[in-house]
Amino acid sequence: ADYNQLGFNLRSNIFQGGPLESRSLMKDSYTPDIIQKAIRDPKNWHGRRTDELGRWHQKNALNLKLQKALEDKYG
């Protein structure tokens, strides 16, 4: 009974899904030339700069990847 009810709902298109066109508050708020002029600096992300702790985590992640690669290669 539940399976038939679900099948009926799917055939009736009750579950229509999300909108086909996505909307963005930033795109709605600013004109296209402002968005194109935006400078994306990875070191200054939304006014927050990469600090020492962030750099340490990046280096630590690279070190862990290196250790795993060396273990995989040399056992």
pLDDT in tens, 14-38: 666 666 777 777 777 888 787 777 7
Cα–Cα distance measured from residue 72 to residue 68, given in angstroms and rounded to the nearest whole number: 6
* Element housing 68 (H / E): helix 52-74
- CA angle 11/13/19 to nearest 5° reads 145
Spatial distance between the Cα atoms of 60 and 72, rounded to a whole number of angstroms: 18
Structural domain boundaries enclosing 28: 3-40+48-74
Q: How many domains does the chain have?
A: 1
pLDDT score for 68? 95
**pTM greater than 0.75:** no
Work out the average pLDDT over 35-61.
Answer: 77
To which residue do tokens 């280096």 refer?
A: 59
